[in-house]
Amino acid sequence: MKRRVVVTGLGCLTPVGNDVESTWQALLAGTSGGAPITHFDASHHKVRFACEVKGFDPAQYMDRKEIKRSDLYTQYAVAASSQAMQDAGLAGGTGYDPERCGVVIGSGIGGINTFEEQHHVLETAGPGRISPFFIPMFISDIASGVVSMRFGAKGPNFCTVSACASSGHAIGMSFRAIQYGDADVMIAGGAEASVTPLSMAGFANMQALSTRNDDPARASRPFDATRDGFVLGEGSGVVILEELGHAQARGARIYGELAGFGMTGDAYHLTGQPENHEGLQRAMRRALEDGGLSPAELHYVNAHGTSTPLNDPNEIRAIKAVLGAHASAVNVSSTKSCTGHMLGAAGAVETVFTLLAIHHGVIPPTINLQTPDPECDLDCTANVPVKRTVAAALNNSSGFGGHNTSLALTRFRS
């Protein structure tokens, strides 16, 4: 018998808010995080805007020495994890057995800020000036390591790296760890801080990004006929997963249940998707089957919805293939319209949003959806939130390399 897994804590740091409540209110208000880049001088770049985290002070979560020895993406992960553990009532180090508590924080790119800075040092000052902390600041797994040390978590500890599906995998594998008895509590999510000169140039030159430099707040427009690419975002999202009996024994608040997980590969193309995104179809079907859910029980799909020409209609066709006639009765939305595409953090942040939709009975909108693409012909929750009881939902993620995840989340029923 697989053990039941519930969500008892949420944390996030996003381009529209530095905690869960401010971010949620910004989503419901239709706030865009898109703005001119401030992290570096982007005046010579093809794309000069992004969805940056704003006003973040790592000193709220880390001491001076820790800040100096950590990349921004790790700082984001510590912030979101600290919020989530506080929200779950576990921040004091009590309420769990450290050897039964694990951490999986995914990241698509890891410490690229550090990589770029230290490469500059190498080129200008020579190898003797490279920081001895370069490697532990740069590697993608270090956020998981730092978070585990912060909370004394000695259970399963690793990083998932699957591009934009990284934190979908992190949550899914944490779910499995609890289901099969390897842990009772998991700190699971993703972090990314990739608004850097090299990242922006790379994504722009592969023509993945929107080029609306004159209108950054309306550049991320999933499902809209005039979309022209995604807007790069950054931040972190973390959820606290708990075995049901463990959560009930300590009287924890439960946001919802993680009922099922599906993961697949496309085996198709470095960055593209097969027609009708059959890999994502299989991931969604597997998540539903794993959770014992029928398509007719779904009320909401938090779509990957990147605002790129190929992804959006492909994902809509995949949803229709899986849900059949019921697809027209389901609300779909892409919260990337507000946050931009947070790469390895996207799946976790969007899991937080999906749980809040279940918890509050409100579906966040797809903003900037002014001219619906005829190929995106489901209810994409255009521009305003929708009050609706959400008993079950899917959260989809896909990544370069052909990685797909789908998480099935439900209202908690004892």
Q: Which of the residues are catalytic?
A: 164, 304, 341
Residues in CB range of 412: below 8 A, 6 or more apart? 6, 254, 255, 256, 257
Cα–Cα distance between 147 and 141 in angstroms, integer?
A: 10
* Sheet with 300-302, edge to edge strand ranges: 157-158, 101-106, 185-192, 235-243, 5-13, 256-265, 403-410, 392-399, 300-302, 331-333
3-state SS assignment for residue 301: strand
Give the span between the Cα atoms of 315 and 333, in whole angstroms.
12
Asked if 226 and 167 count as a contact pair (C-beta separation under 8 A), the reply is no
- CA distances for 76 relative to 60, 71, 145, 227, 332, angstroms: 11, 9, 14, 29, 28
Distance separating alpha carbons of residues 30 and 365, to the nearest angstrom: 7
Structure tokens at 11: 């944390």
Q: C-alpha angle 246/250/254, rounded to 5°?
A: 75
Spatial separation of the C-alpha atoms in residues 184 and 114, rounded to whole Å: 34
Is residue 225 exposed (0-12), middle (13-18) or buried (19+ Cβ within 10 Å)? middle
